[in-house]
Each structure stands twice: as C-alpha cells, then as structure tokens.
Structure 1
Amino acid sequence: MQTFFRYNWMVREEWYKWCEELSEEELLQPRVGGVGGILKTLFHIADVEWSWIMVMQGKPDFQEDFANYNTVEKVRALDARFRPEVEAFVLAWNERLERNIFKDVRQDGSVVTDGWGEIMRHVIAHEIHHIGQLSLWARELGKAPISANLIGRGLLETLPGKE
C-alpha cells in the first residue's frame, strides 16, 4: 500500500514540475474528460486523497474551492499542507486496518459501508486514472508526459525497515 502512495506522490510532484513549463491558459483550459483541465485535475487528486483519509479517521472534511487554487504554486502548497496528515496515516497502515468499516449515510438516507482497505485502493487507483488523463492531455499539447513507470523509481529503498 505504502509503495503505491509513494509512487503517486512522486509522479504528482513530477507533474507539478512539468506544469511549470505551461502557460496559465494551457493549465486552466477546459479539456474533455476528467474534472475539467490539467491544473484542476491535480487539485482534485490532492483534495480527494486528503478527503478520504480524513473521513476514514472520523475527522472533518471541508471542500476546497478550486477558484482559490488556480496556480501550480497554490495547488502544490495545498498538497504540501495536506501531505503530512495523509502520509502519517499511510505510514501507520497495517493489516488490522484493512477491514475497518466506513459507513456513509447518503442524502437519500441509505447507508453504504466500505472497508478501509478498499477505500485506500480506490484512492490509489483514482490518482492513477487521472494521471492517465494528464498524459493524454500532454500529448495533445505536443509534450512528453511524465513516465507512469513504477519500476526504476527506487521506491523499495524508501520503505521503512529496508536495509
């Protein structure tokens, strides 16, 4: 689990750097698919990751407004603000948490239950899905996307207890 979160964080940071080469117009331009565009998608990824981690822990989740985060620097800063709490939760992850239950009461009164392990995997897959969209948009702009390759990133060396 931790390896995939570290992978997503590493790739996300590379996308932030990649975005520094784009104009504001290119970053904010509405695009087909995703949540609207390149920068809004990066904002969405960080916001969703943080939101799920908070609600699993029973902590308040507030909805950030993208209008307040319309530059790479602002989205990156928001991500940096969220990261310590998310990372602490991810690094403390263990098998016992896998089957903890999260109950969500929907607006219609129905109750949906999900295991924490399933939610964590959803958060990982959610980001990977959106990174694929960013890659397509990069190619539409005539630019090389960030590599999605997990191999060769040195992720096993960063795991706790690895000697």
Structure 2
Amino acid sequence: MQTLFVYNWKVREEWYKWCETLSEEELLRPRTGGVGGILKTLFHIADVEWSWIMAMQGKPDFEEDFAEYSTLDKVKELDARFRPEVEAFVLGWHEGLERNIFVDKRYEGEKAIDAWGEIMRHIIAHEIHHIGQLSVWARELGHKPVSANLIGRGLRETLQGKE
C-alpha cells in the first residue's frame, strides 16, 4: 500500500514540474471530464487525499476553495502543507488498521464504510484515475504526459529511506 502512495506522490511531483511548461491560462482552462481542468484536478487530488486521511483519524476536515489556490505555486504549497500528516499516516500503516470501520459523519445521518483499507485503496485509485485524465489533456495539448510507469522509480529505496 505504501509503495502505491509513494508512487502517486512522485508522479504528482512530476506533474507539477510538467505544469511549469504551461501558461496559467492553459492550467486554468476548463476541460472535458474530471473536475474541470489541469490545475483544479491537481488541487482536487491533494485535497481528497488529505480529507480522507483526516476523516479516518477523526480529525477535523475543512473544504478548501479552489479559488484561493488558483496558481500552480499555491496548489504546490497546499500539497506541501498537507503532505507531512498524510505521509506520517501512510508510512505508519500496518495490517491491524486494514479492517477498522469508518463511519462517515459528513453526510446526513451516518453512513458506514466497510474498512480503512478500502478507503486507502480508494485514495490510491482516485489519484491514478485523475492522473489518467491529465495524460489525455497533455496529449490534446500536443505534449508528452508524465510517465505512468511504476517500474524504475526507485520506490523501494525511497520507502527504505523513510523507515
């Protein structure tokens, strides 16, 4: 599980770097699918990851307004602010957390979700899904997208350095 989170973080950082080649207008341009555009999608990925991790821990969550983060630097700063707490939770993950039951109180009434492991896998799949959308938009712009290849990214070494 940790390997896929580290993979997602590395790929996200590469997308941030890739975005530096585009104009602010291009980053904000509404697009078909996803949450509406390149920068808004990157914002959404970081916000959703952080929100779920906070919710599982019973910590307060607040919904960030994209209008306050509508530049690449601001999205990167938000992600950097969220990352330490997210990373600590992810790197502290162990099998004993897999079946913890989560009760989502953000909705009217209470909606039980099967288990924390399911939520963690949702967070991983959510980002991979949106990164696929970024890849399509990159090709529509005539640019090569960030590689989605998991192999060759030094993930094992990265995880060993974090233990």
**TM superposition score normalised by structure 1:** 0.95
Whether 1:31 aligns to 2:31 is yes
Letter of the 1:120 counterpart: M
What is the percentage of aligned positions where both structures have the same residue?
80
Equivalent pair of 1:106/1:112 in contact (CA under 8 Å): no
Aligned residues: 162
Task: Note closer, same or farther for the CA distance 1:35–1:96 as it changes in structure 2 (3 Å cut).
Answer: same
Partner of 2:13: 13
Q: How many Å separate the matches in 1 of 2:20 and 2:155? A: 25
Q: Which residue of structure 2 lines up, in the alignment, with residue 54 of structure 1?
A: 54
Rounded Cα–Cα distance in structure 2 between residues aligned with 1:23 and 1:68: 18
The residue correspondences of 1:1-150 to structure 2 (distance < 5 A) are 1-105=1-105, 107-150=107-150
How far residue 105 of structure 1 moved from its aligned partner, in angstroms, is 3.8
Cα offset for 1:99? Answer: 0.5
CA deviation after TM superposition for structure 1 residue 113, in Å:
2.4
How far apart, in 2, do the equivalents of 1:49 and 1:113 lie? Answer: 16
Where does the alignment leave 5 or more consecutive residues of structure 2 unmatched? none
**Residue 156 (structure 1) aligned with residue 156 (structure 2):** yes
Whether the 8 Å CA contact 2:135–2:146 is kept in 1: the answer is yes
Aligned Cα RMSD in Å? 1.4
User: Where does structure 1 lack aligned partners over 5 or more consecutive residues?
Assistant: none
> How far did residue 157 of structure 1 move?
1.4
Rounded Cα–Cα distance in structure 1 between residues aligned with 2:161 and 2:15: 29
- C-alpha contact (below 8 Å) 2:103/2:110 kept by paired residues: no
Q: Is this contact kept in 2: 1:103–1:113, CA < 8 A?
A: yes
Secondary structure at 1:159's aligned position in 2? helix
Deviations along 1:75-112, whole A, 9 cap, x unmatched? 00000000000000001000000000101246443522
Task: Pick closer, same or farther for the CA change 1:82–1:161 going to 2, 3 Å.
Answer: closer
